[in-house]
Structure 1
Amino acid sequence: MWTGILFALAAGLMWGLVFISPLLLPDYPAALQSVGRYLAFGLIAMPLAWMDRRALRQLSRGDWLEALKLAAVGNLLYYLCLASAIQLAGAPLPTVIIGTLPVVIAISANLRDAKRDGRLPWRWLAPSLVLIGLGIACVNRDELGALGSHAPEELWRHARGALLAVGAVACWTWYPLRNADWLRQHPDRSARTWATAQGVATLPLALIGYLLLWGYLWASGQSFPMPLGPQPLRFVGLMAAIGLFASWLGTSCWNAASQRLPTALVGQLIVFETLAALGYAYALRGHAPGQLTLLGIALLVAGVVWAVRIRPRPVELTAGD
């Protein structure tokens, strides 16, 4: 169990990096950052796939189709929504909306996967969810309070960013549940191999998206310099770093955690991503978070500490099951 928790922590630290890329590339369209990141992920996965070709050959056509679905929703669509939200509203507000994922996934998994994983008793799960929810509320209030000084058009821009962040939550509620389904059905498969398979499946989608975006920018007469934009070295470097660390390594660690922990528990551990993203965002801002944000972070940590103490209980099956 503790190995699974450490894998989830590593995944959160890697995934937190994706929240600062849109801030470092403010002149780049969110769609370009999304397809660029996953084009890098796919290209990085190709040599890894060659090294792991024996295990990949064991995947069926259905497995590859599942990897393609996971890549489309959990990778491209999720990051498109997230990057757009961050560019519209800044990093902290989308971060705290994404921070609801531990609660949303934990409740969804506890209702959906209790027969497979065992149910986390609601009376034990509730304090963890309440602590995490209060932590999110504290950080959210601190950030929303800072919006009061903005003009109405700025508030509308932040509202659109918040809606896109909600879309990202929907994508990444679906992804870990479906991903855990596959991993639990194939306990003999390597978490690393499944991450590589998703990278390979992502490559054609990202390449098609890149070419379509290039064509759209050209047809609409926009002056954005394709294919690598106005800061090609920064763009390529960031996409390569995020493709390797956040996409491949982060997914590998998450898969390893998903194989070892109940989905309702591992879902709560996504809070590590929220904490890492907040830390990176405030480091980029160059100042420490406010007292209310620090209280929220403390509550998030307390919620995680409570969550890891919970043990699932088997669900008795009826004759019809």
Structure 2
Amino acid sequence: MKSDAPLLSGLLNGLAAGACWGTIFLAPELVPDFGALALSLARYLAYGLLSAALLAPRWRTVLPRVPASGWCGLFGLGLAGNLAYYVLIASAVRLCGIGATSIVTGFLPVTVALLGTRDAGSLPLRRLAPSLLLAAIGIGLIGLQAAGTPAASAAGAAPHRVLGLLCALAGLTSWSLFAVSNARWMRRLPTIGAGDWGLLTGLVTGAQSLVLLPVLALAGPGMAFGSAFGTVFGTAPGAGPATHDARQWLVFGAVSVGVGLLGSVLGGMFWNRASRQLPLTLSGQMAVGETLFALFYGCLWHQRWPTALEIAAVGFLAASVVTCAARHARPPAPRAA
């Protein structure tokens, strides 16, 4: 039983990370009058401030553990796994909907497994094939459900749907590279705790957000980029900063801080723990939790029960994690003669 403890702990941490990350798909729906870049910068400014506050009491003990190369790694992780990823995902949600976006990002376990098969403790791709096939079937069922909804049909006729899918694909690529690089950096720097590594990432991402604030200030007014690019860089079509009332700003601030806390501070902490306890081919599989919880939160938001296809998809995705965990579990010790 003792040998299974890290595996179980890693699985629970991965599931908790998915529960936190599922909120990022709902956030654009909660503040539709603000563009993806605005939401992303606000979220990561909140992440940076929260990280700085939590690191402040231990700054003198944590800082000496980070080499110069580690700061370079944190810079790349903050850019690829946080800022770029969330701008792309929030844009995709606006342009082609939660359903289509979650389908594309649902293939994270497959891409991370492909990138991580040569890492320590990982299994060869042939042994992962059954669980990856189950995950692909589950994502495909979600795709059938999303394609059959009236909202999806309407979005399919819009010229910006293709741009949304491209944003989702770019986000998938960005986060896959982040997941693999993040796990490798934590292995290189074992003296830095998983929670502290996440807070350091937040500190760097917050600084990057400050640098990008002038971009938001230039892009926001006037919608000069047209409706599609305005959705990404500026505000929603027909809206500008001057049209936002006090209530909208209050909701925007609350959503940004909430997603910064749940999706970044807590989600990052749980994910880093899972990444340290599980091999990449299994921790990557835990990314299906983000898709499952995004689906769950979407049902709550739209006040509906999951459909038969969605329930079947959940079953396949859950089975994919179970089979993958079983593949990675240590074989029982041989009985004494």
Return the TM-score normalized by structure 1.
0.90
1:246 partner SS: helix
Contact conserved, 1:214 with 1:226, CA < 8 A, in 2? Answer: no
* 1:47-196 paired onto structure 2 within 5 Å: 47-53=53-59, 54-110=61-117, 112-113=118-119, 117-146=120-149, 150=153, 154-196=157-199
- 1:289 paired residue number: 306
Distance (whole Å) between structure 2 residues aligned to residue 229 and residue 63 of structure 1: 42
Q: Answer yes or no: is 1:224 the counterpart of 2:224.
A: no
SS in 1 for 2:304: coil
Measured in 1, the distance between the counterparts of 2:152 and 2:167 equals 22
Matched residue SS, 2:22? helix
**Match in the other structure for 1:212:** 215
Structure 2 residue corresponding to 1:201, chosen from 204, 207, 216: 204
CA 1:28–1:131: 2 relative to 1, 3 Å: same
Give the deviation of 1:232 after TM superposition.
1.0
Residue matched to 1:317? none
Separation in structure 2 between the aligned mates of residue 184 and residue 78 of structure 1, nearest angstrom: 23
Q: CA RMSD in A?
A: 2.2
Deviation at 1:146, TM superposition (A): 2.7
Distance change (3 Å), C-alpha of 1:218 and 1:269 = same
2:36 partner letter: A
Amino acid at match of 1:209: L
Change in CA separation of 1:8 and 1:228 when aligned onto 2, cut-off 3 Å: farther
Q: From 30, 38, 50, give the equivalent of 2:36.
A: 30
Q: Is the 8 A contact 1:19 1:86 kept in 2?
A: yes
- Unpaired runs of 5+ residues, structure 1, are 314-321
Asked if 2 retains the 8 angstrom alpha-carbon contact of 1:56 and 1:197, the reply is: no
Distance 2:55 2:304 in 1: 42
Q: What is the distance in 1 between the residues matched to 2:100 and 2:295?
A: 10
Q: What is the Cα deviation at residue 142 of structure 1?
A: 1.6
How far is 1:161 from its partner? 1.4
Structure 2 counterpart of 1:39, from 26, 45, 64: 45
Matched residue SS, 1:4: helix
Matched, 1:273 2:290: yes
Change (3 A) 1:312 1:171: farther
Q: Could you say what secondary structure the match of 2:65 adopts?
A: coil
Give the whole-Å Cα distance in 1 for the aligned partners of 2:163 and 2:70.
Answer: 36
Q: Secondary structure at the match of 1:289?
A: coil
**What's the counterpart of residue 318 of structure 1?**
none
Figure out how many residues of one structure are paired with residues of the other and give that number: 309
Relative to 1, partners in 2 of residues 1:220 and 1:20: Cα closer, same or farther, differing over 3 Å?
closer
The answer to whether the 8 Å contact 1:23/1:90 transfers is no
* TM-score, scaled to structure 2: 0.86
The CA deviation at 1:150 is 3.5
Contact 2:19–2:289 under 8 Å retained in 1: yes
Q: CA deviation at 1:297?
A: 1.2
| Identity across matched positions, percent | 33
CA 1:250/1:148 → structure 2, altered by over 3 Å: closer, same or farther?
closer
Distance (Å, rounded) in 1 between the aligned partners of 2:259 and 2:178: 19
